[in-house]
Amino acid sequence: MNNGQQAIIAVNVGSSSIKFALYPFRGATTGAALLTGTIAGLEPDGQPCVAFSTDDGVNLSETLAPGPGDSFERALAAMRALLARYAAPARLMAVAHRIVHGGERYAESVVLDEAAMAYLRTLEPLAPLHQPHNLEGVELFMRAFPELPQVGCFDTSFHTTMDPLEQRFALPQAMHREGVRRYGFHGLSYRYLAARLAERSGRSGRKVLMAHLGNGASVCAMHCGVSVATSMGFSALDGLMMGSRCGALDPGVLLHLMRQGWDADRIEKLLYRQSGLLGVSGLSADMRTLRASDQPEARTAIDLFTHRLVRECGALTACLGGLDLLAFTGGIGEHDAALRLAACEQLLYLGVRIDTGRNKAADGSQIMAIHADDSSVEIWVVPTDEGRVAAGDAAALLAHMQI
Relative to beta strand 226-230, strand 217-223 is: antiparallel
Phi and psi torsions of 329, nearest 5°? -150, 180
Q: What is the CATH number of domain 202-386?
A: 3.30.420.40
259 is known to lie in a ligand binding site: no
**Is 203 labelled as part of a ligand binding site?**
no
Q: SS3 for 261?
A: coil
Of 226, 244, 221, 233, which Cα lies nearest the Cα of 290? 244
212 is in an annotated binding site: yes
Distance CA 327, CA 334 (A): 10
Catalytic residue set: 155
Q: Residue ranges per domain, the chain?
A: 6-154, 202-386
CA 292 centroid distance within chain: 25
> Does 6-154 match 202-386 in CATH topology?
yes
Provide the pLDDT confidence category of residue 4 given band limits of 50, 70 and 90: low
Residues 226-268: tens digit of each pLDDT:
999 999 999 999 999 999 999 999 999 999 999 999 999 999 9
> What single letter denotes the amino acid at residue 297?
E
For residues 279-287, average pLDDT: 97
Residue 87's pLDDT is what?
80
Angle between helices 114-121 and 131-144 (to 10 degrees): 160
pLDDT for the residue 202: 97
d(CA 247, CA 370): 28
The answer to whether 287 is a known ligand-binding residue is: yes
Find out whether 289 and 278 touch, Cβ atoms under 8 Å. Answer: no
Q: Is the pLDDT of residue 341 over 60?
A: yes
Q: Say how far apart CA 10 and CA 22 lie, in whole Å.
A: 6
CATH code for the part of the protein at 6-154: 3.30.420.40
Question: Is 292 buried (19+), middle (13-18) or exposed (0-12) by CB count in 10 A?
Answer: exposed
Residue type, 43: E
Interval 204-221: pLDDT, tens: 999 999 999 999 999 999
Provide the pLDDT for residue 403: 58
Is 0.85 surpassed by the pTM of this model?
A: yes
| Average pLDDT score, the chain | 94
